[in-house]
Amino acid sequence: MSPRARRMWSAALFLLVLASSAGCATVRPWDRDLLAEKKMSFTPNPTIQAVDEHIYFSKEGSTGSQEVGGGGCGCN
């Protein structure tokens, strides 16, 4: 693994630990009104998100999203 890749993984791990620590302050059930909204999602518009990922997959050399799998195409 390259030094840069190691730094990125370390940063992601740090964020994960930080998030875990912060989450220990419990959010009570009656405080989850906003969290229950449909728009409180990492992909609030999954249809448009899928279209975007297809566009950038065709135009750029990278991949990666919230999901795994899917389909290939001759566009890249």
3 near other proteins, rule: CB under 8 A: no
Token pair for residue 67?
Answer: 């999901």
4 near other proteins, rule: CB under 8 A: yes
Round the CA-based radius of gyration of the chain to a whole number and report it. 17
In whole angstroms, give the CA distance from residue 36 to residue 30: 11
How many residues line the site for other proteins (CB under 8 A)? 58
Contact residues for other proteins, defined by CB under 8 A: 2, 4-5, 8-9, 12, 15-16, 19-20, 22-23, 25-27, 31-35, 37-51, 53-57, 59-76
